[in-house]
Amino acid sequence: MRPTREEIQIQLKKLPSNKAAGPDGITNRILQASGERAVDMIYMYMLIIWEVQTYPGAWALALMQPIYKGGGKDRHCPSSYRGIYLLNTLTKLFEGLIESRLSQFTEKYNTLTSAQQGSRTSRQIHDVIYAHIATIQQNKQNGIPSYCCFVDFSTAYPSVHRNRLVRTLKNYNITGKIWHFLKENS
């Protein structure tokens, strides 16, 4: 199903207004402050991308911006910095559209485990932390040891086996244009 103008407007509103621009120099604030005519043009642009199922070449570009880690580290030492990648605003808007549709699909068809809390509507990670602490306290009272392992998967995505991810999405019946975008552009 083609994106709607309303979906594009929702994604525009979701973009954080105080973020730096990517290689195109366009900030979220500029897009959000543009009028209805600009929204119409963005919508038409997104429809073209949707129909041809290919990201513009410029969307493959990113600006790498070094950010000082702080903590009294030597400002002249490269290891005192971490890199962040700034993408084009329209790239983020389109990715938001795909993420929104995938989230709606996974909630509607219950494809995620109940343990998955992050980035889900009406679920918050602090609820999991509270439940985890309560379990540890209960185990301690009952003389049962608790073993914990915390993994930050947010940094793992660049190392995801892309072909396996595409097959998994297809196995969950996530197909069509979204599947094609993820397959061809990841």
Residue 167: predicted pLDDT: 87
Average pLDDT score over residue span 167-177: 85
Judge residue 85's burial from the number of C-beta atoms within 10 Å of its C-beta, 0-12 exposed, 13-18 middle, 19 or more buried. Answer: exposed
- Specify the amino acid at residue 82: R
Length of the chain: 186
pLDDT in tens, 70-99: 999 999 999 899 888 899 999 999 999 998
Q: Quick one: tokens of 47?
A: 């429809």
pLDDT in tens, 97-131: 998 998 888 888 888 777 777 667 777 777 888 88
Return the percentage of the chain with pLDDT > 70, whole number. Answer: 94
DSSP state at residue 83: E
CA distance 110 to 114: 9
